[in-house]
């Protein structure tokens, strides 16, 4: 069975109503990245950061996977599919994808401030218990924090992602400029000769140097076109 690796970014979830960070009107215009998405910001004002992600979780519960998410999941009927996502939402999971590598953490999880990547410290939050509170402790006794990889922190899953991409027979990039590292370097590991498809409605100044096919549509419409092309079926 051929292996497909799907690399997804903020544009994948934008059609579901998830606020993007980098686009016009995005979250970066409301909050300074240094304040809510850096380890320094968390150390400086943990309450601000914890509350910011509490609100992101509440928003996540109000949205659903879009057709693009569902078609990525449906590819598993035909291919061995791994999703590598820069997104912290759980929309790929809810759409039915079964093998997902989260590069930047998971919004619906919390972890220890002292050892954020220790599996024994990672807790899954539930819809009826969404909020982390200042003073709430992880199993190791340190402050419970969002399980998010912030600027200034290592990306622990990047090696898993590289390993997956190196085995790709087909690579699909959806809704990400692929100009933010380390994720941007992943396409360099796609084997020569394996086709790369980029789904994005905008012109993309892609600096990878790799040949790719640009499907200039949004995540859902682009995946409809590519799904039919790859499988010969209309979903």
| Dist. CA 217–CA 203, nearest whole Å | 10
Single out the residue of 122, 97, 80, 78 nearest to residue 12, CA to CA: 97
- 127 closest CA partner among 161, 84, 94: 94
Q: Tally Cβ neighbours within 10 Å of residue 66.
A: 21
Element (H, E) at 193: none
Secondary structure class of 110 (helix, strand, coil): strand
What are the strands of the beta sheet with 80-85, ordered from one edge? 100-102, 80-85, 3-8, 170-174, 196-199, 213-215
Distance, CA of 126 to CA of 112 (rounded, Å): 17
Mapped onto helix, strand or coil, the DSSP state of residue 19 is coil
Which of 99, 102, 104, 214 is labelled catalytic? Answer: 104
Q: What angle do CA 203, 209, 215 make, to 5 degrees?
A: 35
Is 92 a catalytic site residue? no
Q: Are strands 80-85 and 105-112 parallel, antiparallel or unpaired?
A: unpaired
Q: What residues are labeled active site?
A: 104
């Amino acid at each position: 069975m051929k292996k497909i690796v799907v690399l997804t970014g903020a544009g994948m979830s934008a059609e579901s109503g998830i606020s993007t960070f980098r686009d016009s009107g995005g979250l970066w215009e409301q909050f300074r990245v240094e304040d809510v998405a850096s380890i320094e910001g968390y150390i400086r004002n943990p309450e601000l950061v914890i509350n910011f992600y509490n609100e992101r979780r509440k928003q996540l519960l109000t949205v659903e996977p879009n057709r693009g998410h569902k078609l990525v999941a449906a590819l598993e009927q035909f291919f061995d599919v791994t999703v590598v996502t820069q997104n912290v939402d759980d929309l790929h999971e809810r759409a039915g994808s079964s093998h997902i590598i989260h590069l930047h953490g998971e919004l619906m999880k919390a972890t220890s401030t002292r050892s954020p990547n220790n599996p024994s410290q990672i807790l899954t939050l539930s819809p009826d218990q969404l909020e982390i509170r200042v003073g709430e402790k992880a199993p190791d006794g340190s402050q419970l924090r969002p399980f998010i990889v912030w600027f200034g922190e290592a990306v622990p899953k990047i090696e898993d992602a590289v390993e997956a991409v190196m085995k790709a027979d087909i690579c699909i990039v959806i809704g990400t400029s692929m100009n933010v590292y380390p994720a941007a370097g992943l396409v360099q590991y796609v084997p020569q000769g394996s086709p790369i498809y980029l789904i994005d409605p905008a012109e993309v100044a892609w600096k990878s140097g790799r040949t790719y096919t640009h499907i200039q549509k949004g995540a859902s419409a682009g995946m409809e076109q590519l799904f039919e092309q790859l499988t010969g079926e209309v979903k």
